[in-house]
Structure 1
Amino acid sequence: MADTYSKIYLQFVFSVKNRQSLIPKEHKEELHKYITGLVQNRKAKMLAVHCLPDHVHIFVGFKPAYSISEFIKEIKVESNEFINAKQWTKYKFEWQKGFGVFSYSHLHIDSVVKYILNQEEHHRKRKFQQEYIDFLKKFEIEFDEKYLFDFVDEG
């Protein structure tokens, strides 16, 4: 074949290091726009983004020009630098290592977009940790719960 054709839809989920609530609600839209620009600069199409105080969902139409790991690593590094430069928190901001990525068919775009955009309501009923574990189970991804999240040591 002379060219590459693809339809790849990926939802990325990643959290703030130590599961702290460090993304200020008043800056959420600015962060959405910034992350959207990062996605678009990598020739992907932003379908939905939603930042909560302690985690982010990004749903993209992905181009195979990047490896998935390199794509999200760059998004996390550059958005991390952006948040720290803006000094939105008195603490040093960092994303937790790792991420979840889940693939969908073209038929699922509308339902995934609605799900992501409705995160505020969704998390009134279910905490992020349980949501993430449910994703892993739904997609039949093997995991060990003790390695899923870094938490602040309260001891």
Structure 2
Amino acid sequence: MHLVWATHGRLPLILPHGEADLYECVRLEATKLRLEVLAIGGIEDHVHLAIRLPATRTIAEIMKQIKGASSHHMSQVSPDGFFKWQEGYGAFAFHTSLTPRIIAYIENQKTHHANGELLAALEESDEEAPLSNNFVREDAGEAWLEARYFNASP
């Protein structure tokens, strides 16, 4: 599962000196949820996370826990005490044959953004998604990706 979520208003709140700390917090929360983390990456306004999703967990509970814990942690260590995520997130299921490509995409986020080499569908969360709450299927030979955008608001 490939998850992506953004800072509140896409503000550049993920500062270089706090990025590793944020990713470690995300990794620790994922471990508490018994998730296998495949990759974590992002830039100053959003995070990508690839995990193996066990049948015993829902995406909603995972995102609530990871976003909640990381927002709380970052608010504690932020110089001005402000850190907030947007309400929703994007979740993308991908065929196992795409795992190396997804991991590379996440681990090289800074390069992709600097060079404008983005996969637009993988950069959107619910607030930016033109197909909000719809599934998207992209075929690439035998490989496939399904996307669903979620908003935590009722």
TM-score clears 0.5: yes
Unaligned runs of 5+ in 1: 1-9, 149-155
Q: Are residues 122 and 71 of structure 1, via their aligned partners in 2, closer, same or farther at CA, if it must alter by over 3 Å?
A: same
CA distance in structure 1 between the partners assigned to 2:67 and 2:79 by the alignment: 17
Aligned pairs (5 A) from 1:96-111:
96-111=86-101
TM-score (normalised: structure 1): 0.75
Q: Are residues 53 and 72 of structure 1, via their aligned partners in 2, closer, same or farther at CA, if it must alter by over 3 Å?
A: same
Instruction: Pick one of 94, 103, 111 that aligns with 1:113.
Output: 103
Structure number with greater Rg is 1
Q: CA RMSD in A?
A: 2.8
- Sequence identity percentage: 24
CA distance in structure 2 between the partners assigned to 1:12 and 1:35 by the alignment: 12
1:89 shift after superposition: 4.0
Instruction: Pick one of 27, 30, 33 that aligns with 1:39.
Output: 30
The equivalent of 1:4 in structure 2 is none
Aligned pairs (5 A) from 1:13-92:
13-86=4-77, 88-90=78-80, 92=82
Unaligned runs of 5+ in 2: 139-144
Q: How many residues align?
A: 134
The equivalent of 1:151 in structure 2 is none
Contact in 1 for aligned 2:2/2:48 (Cα 8 Å): yes
Which structure 1 residue ranges, 4+ long, deviate > 6 Å from structure 2?
A: none
2:85 corresponds to 1:95: yes
Residue type of the alignment partner of 1:57: H
CA distance in structure 2 between the partners assigned to 1:75 and 1:37 by the alignment: 9
Residue type of the alignment partner of 1:116: I
CA distance in structure 2 between the partners assigned to 1:70 and 1:92 by the alignment: 24
Contact in 2 for aligned 1:23/1:53 (Cα 8 Å): yes
Q: Are residues 51 and 141 of structure 1, via their aligned partners in 2, closer, same or farther at CA, if it must alter by over 3 Å?
A: closer
- SS in structure 1 of the partner of residue 40 of structure 2: strand
Q: Are residues 127 and 20 of structure 1, via their aligned partners in 2, closer, same or farther at CA, if it must alter by over 3 Å?
A: farther
1:106 shift after superposition: 1.7
Bigger fraction of residues in strand? 2
Q: Are residues 93 and 127 of structure 1, via their aligned partners in 2, closer, same or farther at CA, if it must alter by over 3 Å?
A: farther
The equivalent of 1:152 in structure 2 is none
